[in-house]
Chain A
Amino acid sequence: MTASIIGSPVRRKEDHRFITGQGRYTDDINRPGQAYAYFLRSPHAHAKIKSIDVEAARATKGVAGVFTGADLAADKLGGLICGWMVHSKDGSPMKAGPHPALAIDKVRYVGDHVAIVIADTYAIARDAAEKIDVGCEELPANADPAKAQTAGAAQIHAEAPGNTIYQWELGNKPETEAAFKKAAHVIKLNLINNRLIPNAMEPRAAVGEYDDGTGGYTLYTTSQNPHVARLIMSAFIGLAPEHKLRVVAPDVGGGFGSKIFVYAEEVVCTWASKKVRRPVKWTAERSESFLSDAHGRDHVTSAELALDANARILGFRVKTIANLGAYMSTFSSSVPTYLYGTLLSGQYDIPAIHVQVDAVYTNTAPVDAYRGAGRPEATYVVERIIEEAARQLKLDSAEFRRKNFIRKFPHQTPVIMNYDIGDYDASLDAALKIADYKNFPARRAEAKTRGKLRGIGFSTYIEACGLAPSAAVGSLGAGVGLWESAEVRVTPTGGVEVFTGAHSHGQGHETTFAQVVAGRLGIPIENVEIIHGDTSSVQFGMGTYGSRAAVGLTAISRALDKIEEKAKRIAAHVLEAARADIVFENGEFKVAGTDRKLAFHEVALNAYVAHKFPTSEIEPGLKEGAFHDPTNFTFPSGCHICEVEIDPETGITTIIKFTAVDDFGNVINPMIVEGQVHGGIAQGIGQALLEHGVYDPESGQLLSGSYMDYTMPRADDLPSYSLGLTNTPCPSNPLGMKGCGEAGAIASPAAVMNAVTDALGVKEFNMPATPARVWQAIQHSRAAAE
């Protein structure tokens, strides 16, 4: 194996089309005769629909069709589903209300879908939608998760009394209570994990097309997982049988989780293309993205940490209310449970943990996975309370962490996860060095002379990704397995086409996957093509999220094992040697101890010509597939350190230095890994300092519904990051990789907020630390001091 290309910063194969304007995103696709769709959305957060009169809109010149929930129901089209069953602690299944693609009797959030108008142009469709007369009765609304379960709160779904979807728990309650009884110190902290709006730069889009000749549909859509979208649309929504529905996710302009889910628009456009007998195209305006993309986070948490007299952690108790919005999105139930509670042990040896999560409905957009999904929320709780414990016990933050680190692997936590490997001291040591921690007191003192407040914050994080062993997730309620598939087709001239069920929407798979193939087969990377994102070419796949590309790469690696084995058998015949004497090195099949050999492309040609081997024993051709089911999650870990300086007069927080040292196991392409870390940290800093999805708690109007109200991180809001890597190779996959896509977003918010609270000298302070809020906190402290 020519391994040198594996681990090299190979420049990306996909870049040429993007830098020359030749990317092909969904909105770039135009089908002959296509019509344009506009969705009429609810302006109310909660209202009964009494009547919908679409006649005037339908009669507008250029309108091809207007449809409502009643039309979908008449065609027996099912609603959107949540594909992960979570049970409450009393054993009862989660209480999910129906989620029609177009509202039937009620609208439940601002932006909820009421009707689709299809016309010759988008402008006509939009103008005609204004003629739809919706008779409705406004109902009291609630957007505040903390109030959702209180008496008198607006009742959103009849199926979920008290707006409670489930009351889930994990861990051992009696053991945890016992730990608190014998504790010398108990640290308490209340936290809000602010709602985020994902904002991939490409707005969602869909083009649905019905082919009357074949009776089949094609959907071009902005999806991270086209096969899963097809499966759900077919098996649960009943749009068409899977073999009559092709889903294509072409170039996708960022996802961060928000494009995992099956949305109303893509279902309705596809269905309607048969109704109007024209392709139907819809592209979200950014305002619609704000209103109707699934949002992230939105937790209200209280946490307690029990410690003995020597500052060893004895127990950890967490209560969280998770806002799931007005409907349960595709994987929403799993995020605040199995992706959250299972990570509450962090990097620490904690004997007893108990977590309770109440998931609630509110009159807000659905909440689902967003970069990190549950793990940032867990890390935020763990790392904020660990920091607070160090402060209250007057211990050095780094040393307190070190005192409680897990050092023996494998390590079984009290919350399901079995950590396979890690070295938390190594990443902490490396980060302390890069951050120049030992000289921080001098820097703080210097800042003070300038009237500035300096703070430093740690986040020693763990994450579980590479989702996930199928049987394990099945036992926890997942409706699907989380293996991945690959097919490797060698052409007669020695080119290699790899069909993967993973999907690339910025991660650079067309390069990293090709690096592994080129490295394994000893061929130039230019000879390898990675094909993804089309259900008509890739047999099946689970898509990309949860930093699970390692699963897809392992599937490819296993298919390559089979290719190599078959090629050896063919080479043995061609070279007239025994199979056992054939070795494969540097792209050549050699007879060991001789100079007889065949290049990879020569074996490929022989495989297809099939003249020189018995086809009764060996089938012609060279094509192999593999399905890989991971045996464990992968557990990236590391240490982020943030140093901030706050101007007390303006409340502006400046990040002086951001250090991130991560253990991602073996790295395929360090350039791409760094890029993933940069982007993740940027989103984490965005959450900590800038971003906040805000609804008016009573009217349910989205107050942060545009880039003028929702602060996306810009170039001058962010620092350059100082990065480092450590490596404990992952034992559960042959390449020794761990996921790297989410770590930045998981670790960084806690590091920033630990730095901000350190600078301010306050205990509880919620994200985002905007200048106004920081300034107010400073005024409050000053007033209290006086």
Chain B
Amino acid sequence: MLGVAMTVNGKAVSGEVETRTLLVHFLRENLRLTGTHVGCDTSQCGACVVHVNGRAVKSCTMLAVQAEGAHVTTIEGLAKDGKLHPVQAAFKEHHGLQCGFCTPGMIMTAVDMIRRIPNLDDKTIRAELEGNLCRCTGYQNIVKAIDAAAKEMKGAAT
């Protein structure tokens, strides 16, 4: 077992893990942050997306020890002071979720997408979602939610 320490959702955390322990399992099992989900075993579905040092990462594809010293944000850390992040609010407003299982990964991917790409359109959003699977929504309302959030955040920034 190895000791690992990092900052998760602004709090310093540490724990004992095996070298093979994945970041997602450290978050879910050690920290009991169960908002980050595991939907596959081949890094395809994106239910496990979190932010590591500000970038979207599939936490099933990173060892916990690789996140040593990193700043990690999970879905639980996205809302600030009880106020939903605009992407969270947009998913609710535009019915961008049904069963909710892929939702945390979708939202974390969307936040990163909006940060990286200044002018999102429907086609770009769909292409950028290639690492996230949803079986419920047919994606239409997810795309709508991301588009609306991007526009709102752009408006707020100018």
Report A's interface with B, CB cutoff 8 A.
11-12, 14-25, 27-28, 30, 123, 199-203, 251-254, 256, 283, 285-287, 505-508, 671-672, 674-675, 678-683, 706-708, 712-716, 718, 720-721, 744
Contact = CB atoms under 8 A, between A and B. Distances in A.
A201 B134 contact: yes
- Among B125, B127, B140, chain A packs the most CB atoms within 10 A around the CB of B140
A22 to B, nearest CB: 7
A21 B139 contact: no
Interface stretch (B32-40, B51-59, B62-70, B150-158): B32-40
A678 B36 CA distance: 25
B96 to A, nearest CB: 9
B133 A28 contact: no
Given A707-B45, A715-B143, A21 B135 contact: no
A428 to B, nearest CB: 23
Contacts of B35: 20-23
18 contacts: A15-B97, A17-B100, A18-B104, A19-B89, A25-B37, A30-B32, A200-B99, A201-B45, A201-B133, A506-B99, A675-B137, A682-B139, A708-B42, A714-B129, A714-B133, A715-B129, A716-B130, A721-B138
Contact of B39 (A30, A203, A681, A718): A203
A14 B100 contact: yes
Q: Determine chain B's interface SS by DSSP, over half rule.
A: loop
B100 A18 contact: yes
A22 B78 CA distance: 12
B115 interface: no
B99 A21 contact: no
Given A201-B136, A283-B38, A675-B98, 20 more contacts: A12-B95, A14-B100, A19-B75, A19-B84, A19-B100, A22-B35, A28-B28, A28-B34, A199-B135, A201-B45, A202-B37, A251-B100, A253-B37, A253-B102, A506-B100, A678-B141, A683-B138, A715-B139, A718-B138, A744-B138
Contacts of B75: 19-21
A254 B99 contact: yes
A123 B20 contact: yes
Nearest to A714: B130
A61 to B, nearest CB: 15
B80 to A, nearest CB: 12
B138 A681 contact: yes
Contacts of B139: 678, 682, 713-715, 718
Contacts of A19: 75, 84, 88-89, 91-92, 97, 100, 103, 107
A286 B135 contact: no
B27 to A, nearest CB: 10
Given A286-B41, A682-B139, A708-B42, A254 B122 contact: no
Nearest to B128: A715
B142 A253 contact: no
Contacts of A20: 35, 75-76, 78-79, 84, 88
A21 B76 contact: yes
B126 interface: yes
Contact of A675 (B44, B92, B95, B129): B95
Given A675-B98, A721-B140, A285 B41 contact: yes
A742 to B, nearest CB: 13
6 smallest beta-carbon distances between A and B, as pairs: A21-B35, A253-B101, A18-B100, A682-B138, A506-B99, A21-B75
B129 A716 contact: yes
B102 A201 contact: yes
Interface of B: 18, 20, 28, 32-42, 44-45, 47, 74-76, 78-79, 84, 88-89, 91-93, 95, 97-104, 107, 122-123, 125-127, 129-130, 132-143
A201 B41 contact: no
Given A20-B76, A506-B100, A712 B135 contact: yes
Contact of B98 (A507, A707, A712, A720): A507
Contacts of B36: 21
Contacts of B89: 19
Contacts of B33: 21
Contact of B133 (A672, A706, A707, A744): A707
A269 B79 CA distance: 37
Given A20-B75, A23-B100, A25-B101, A15 B135 contact: no
Most buried by A among B32, B36, B126, B132: B126
Nearest to A708: B42
B107 A201 contact: no
B41 A202 contact: no
A20 B44 CA distance: 22
Contacts of B42: 286, 706-708
Contacts of A16: 92
Contacts of B102: 201, 253
Contacts of B122: 720
A294 B28 CA distance: 28
B100 A253 contact: yes
Contacts of A715: 125-127, 129-130, 132, 134, 139, 142-143
Contacts of A674: 95, 141
A713 to B, nearest CB: 8
Contacts of A15: 91-92, 97, 100
Given A200-B99, A286-B42, A21 B104 contact: yes
A460 to B, nearest CB: 21
Nearest to A16: B92
A475 B17 CA distance: 58
A678 B88 contact: no
Contacts of A671: 95
A355 to B, nearest CB: 31
A256 B135 contact: yes
Nearest to B25: A122
A124 B32 CA distance: 20
B136 A506 contact: yes
A671 B97 CA distance: 12
Contacts of A202: 37, 39, 99, 101
A707 B40 contact: yes
Nearest to B85: A19
A22 B104 CA distance: 10
Contacts of B45: 201, 286, 707
B135 A679 contact: yes
A672 B141 CA distance: 11
A679 B44 contact: no
Given A25-B101, A253-B101, A254-B135, A672 B95 contact: yes
Contacts of A672: 95
Contacts of A199: 135
A286 B40 contact: yes
Contacts of B41: 285-287, 706
A11 B103 contact: no
Contacts of A200: 99, 101, 135
A508 B137 CA distance: 12
B140 A254 contact: no
A104 B107 CA distance: 46
A708 B103 CA distance: 21
